A and B are shown apart, each in its own frame.
Chain A
Amino acid sequence: MTRLLEARGLDVLLGDYQVLWEARCAVAAGEIVALLGPNGAGKSTLMNSLSGLLRPRAGDVLFDGHAITGLPAHRRVSQGISHVLERRRLFPYLTVRQNVWLGAYAREARADRETQYQKMIELFPIISARANQLAHTLSGGEQQMVALARGLMSRPRLLMIDEPFLGLAPLIVEQLVEVIRRVNQDGVTILFIEQNVERALSIASRGYILESGRTILDGPSSELLHSAEVRRIFLGG
């Protein structure tokens, strides 16, 4: 297994409060991996450390074999890492088109901007239907589609998505799962956060489980689904 992304022994503090304790995870090229855990376990903090929004106090982040631990977020984009934040976080007062377009702001991505934009329209037709609408006027599902398109504009090798299905109708969730699978088949490695264990493990081939800031369990989805430990954490049994 060639590892595209690997994080080892991450200690991360938010202010004076330590959120992650020697957290780890690894993603191989081509995989879909889920990051699971109860509220406050540190899933988003881990993902933010992987994309460079947070700087760990200790530990390493490796991408494609190179240490990127100290690299600021805006330079990790050029390396091929894309991160779609929780609650989509579109630029509310820019249009849909401008939002998606900014996804390819990095110099390396600009040459292919137009073709990539056309691909995104194909993947999410609402982008062309709502191109000139301000992003904050869209529904939650539409915003998530625009956020995914924006994240894909830089032609990432790794797409990280924080809670892609949060607050969305079942029908939209199905659509998004379909899109995520398609993107993965096109060669993009995917790491995502999800609260719903069964849903997450039906999409991912492997999962990592965080509890109180520590990576306590990982393995193939089929194993995790039947693990007594997982049942204890999520059902409190």
Chain B
Amino acid sequence: MGFVYALIAAGLSLIFGLMEIVNFAHGEFLMVAMYVAFFAWALLKLDPLVSLPLAALLLGTLGFTVYHGIIRRVLDGPMLAQIFATFGLAVLLRSAAQFLFGVDFRTVSQPLLAGRVALGPVFIGVPQLAASVAALAAFVGLFLFLSRSETGLALQATAQDRHAAALMGIDTQRMFALGWAIGSACVGVAGGLLAMFFYIFPDVGTPFALLAYVTVALGGFGNVPATLAGGVLVGLVEAFGGLYLTPALKYSAVFALYLGVVLWRPQGLFGRF
């Protein structure tokens, strides 16, 4: 699960790093992605694993549209306007999902991958394992894109100093829109992967978003590679917390760790701020 958390958090971190805006609708984006996977399965008989590119593409488009439709207009506004803009979007998406899809829990039954495998003494569900591998692959892809490609460098430059970036000939507005598209596409992939084994309902994004904020804060805001470490840490603490305490208390362990780290290192484990 750690890798999936990391991927969700990477999208959040990318957008924050780029323009210091926290997307409070991030969890709802995840929910939308899961419904995309669900309806692709229910209507088109496509397994979530197969419809993954579709979820990524649709969420990327959503992110791009949200940037141009909403975020761009509040970019120079007060911080409170930025918070309310994404928070309002979250409420809108969640209510729309309740209205359109109802509040029932839905699941993708008979997925392509099922059963479980033994890795040494530990049993892991095959869908969970596949989700981890795919999330890690997506994360590595994102990292290579950011660090190796021309556009990735331009994104990093924009994040580090948007005025200096503009003077290099970088269209920073385009980079912001691209950041939203990529950040949201990350959530699209994560949502598609989660749909293989998780219930789908309008509020499903909330706990994941909460974990994403913890993950980003643990790794360090605006530092994409660090979110991988943060995600793995959250995943492990959750798993072992569930094992050694009781499953009901597993998130308490995560949030206790988070509190500890924030008190000890407010900038996160690898943070720059």
Contact = CB atoms under 8 A, between A and B. Distances in A.
Contacts of B164: 85, 89-91
User: Which of B153, B166, B170 has the most CB atoms of chain A within a 10 A radius of its CB?
Assistant: B166
Contact of A94 (B157, B170, B172): B157
A67 interface: no
B168 interface: yes
B167 A91 contact: no
B150 interface: yes
A191 B160 CA distance: 26
Nearest to A160: B167
A157 interface: no
A74 B150 contact: no
Interface stretch (A30-38, A98-106, A226-234): A98-106
B116 interface: no
A102 B167 contact: no
A109 interface: yes
B166 A53 contact: yes
A105 B169 contact: yes
B169 A154 contact: yes
Given A51-B167, A105-B169, A106-B168, A89 B153 contact: no
Interface in A37-69: 51-53
A82 interface: yes
Given A74-B172, A89-B161, A94 B167 contact: no
Contacts, number: 69
Interface residues of B, number: 18
Given A94-B153, A98-B153, A85 B167 contact: yes
B166 A105 contact: no
A91 B166 contact: no
A102 B160 contact: no
Contacts of A78: 169
B168 A77 contact: yes
A103 B168 contact: yes
B168 A105 contact: yes
B170 A74 contact: yes
Contact of B160 (A94, A151, A154): A94
A162 to B, nearest CB: 11
Interface in B191-245: none
B272 A53 contact: no
A72 interface: yes
Contacts of A94: 153, 156-157, 160
A101 B149 CA distance: 12
B186 interface: no
B154 interface: yes
B170 A105 contact: yes
Given A53-B163, A85-B164, A91 B169 contact: no
A150 B163 contact: no
A103 B166 CA distance: 10
B166 A72 contact: yes
B154 A74 contact: no
B153 A102 contact: yes
B157 A74 contact: no
A155 to B, nearest CB: 12
A180 B71 CA distance: 42
Contacts of A89: 161, 163-164
B171 A74 contact: yes
B176 to A, nearest CB: 13
A1 B165 CA distance: 33
A91 B163 contact: no
Contact of B167 (A73, A93, A109): A73
A206 interface: no
B169 A77 contact: yes
A92 interface: yes
A92 B150 CA distance: 17
B160 A92 contact: yes
Contacts of B167: 51, 53, 73-74, 77, 82-83, 85, 151
Contacts of B161: 89-92
A131 B125 CA distance: 46
Contacts of B169: 74-75, 77-78, 105-107, 109, 154
B18 to A, nearest CB: 13
16 contacts: A53-B166, A73-B166, A77-B169, A78-B169, A89-B161, A91-B156, A93-B156, A98-B153, A102-B154, A102-B157, A102-B165, A102-B170, A105-B154, A105-B168, A105-B169, A151-B167
Which 10 pairs across A and B sit closest by C-beta, in order of nearness? Answer: A106-B169, A77-B169, A73-B166, A89-B164, A91-B160, A105-B168, A105-B169, A74-B166, A91-B157, A74-B171
Interface of B: 150, 153-154, 156-157, 160-161, 163-172, 272
